[in-house]
Amino acid sequence: MKTVDFIGGKVKIAKADGYDAPSSDAVFLAAATPVKENAQVLDVGQGCGILGILLAWRQPSIRVTGLEIDPELCKAAMLNFKLNKADGLSKNADITKCKIRETFDCVITNPPFFSEAPLSPVPQRGLARTQTVPLKTWLDFCLKRVKPKGNFAMLHKPAALPEILAAFIAHKMGAAQIIPIFSKAGQPANRIIVRAIKGSGQAVQILPGIVVHDGKAMTKAADAVLRDGGTLFL
């Protein structure tokens, strides 16, 4: 497996043969997810493990459990935990059948959200990006596994926001915060990060967004996250 550097080489991720390397989406989501010392973290749809590893890079005391339907990606995740000296476990699981009952201090997810598989000569790429489980089912699974006062964070398309907020209401998630991600200034957001706390009574907030590109160059704000390991906490 080839390795790809993240956060200026501070994190190294081995990608499975035939699969794409993780995108900047994962780096932004991890940067927006606070975790406390010794937190138990669940990463749903783990892929190669980058989200949990990026969280562990900031907070080495955490324990990450990842759920992933693709056994090859599970193998890659376990290799990446070892490569980055992170405390983690990857379980091969289908969330529509998974019987896990534990609850976690933090649940994080970057689910596939294309309605159709992108055209690709490599079948695994399309499978990794295509939504095969209804978003409501995915959210129900994730939110049931957040401890009281635990936090949840995800990245998705802006069009999914009404469904995400409806799930938050159903599962008593409060203090929801929305962070828009813009590919370029002056364009609609093409991604959103949404996070919330179980049992909080605080209202929804829309936080300042982040613009990724300024022409062909990376913006200073994006560069601070992607290369220097900055956070998106407020």
188-226 confidence digits (pLDDT tens): 999 999 999 999 999 999 999 999 999 889 999 999 999
Residues 6 or more apart from 181 whose CB is under 8 A from it? 28, 155, 189, 190, 191, 192, 193, 209, 210, 212
- Stated pTM of the model: 0.92
* Average pLDDT over all residues of the chain: 92
What are the tens digits of pLDDT across the range 17-61?
Answer: 888 889 999 999 999 999 999 999 999 999 999 999 999 999 999
Question: Could you tell me the two tokens for 215?
Answer: 């022409």
What are the tens digits of pLDDT across the range 104-128?
Answer: 999 999 998 766 555 555 555 555 5
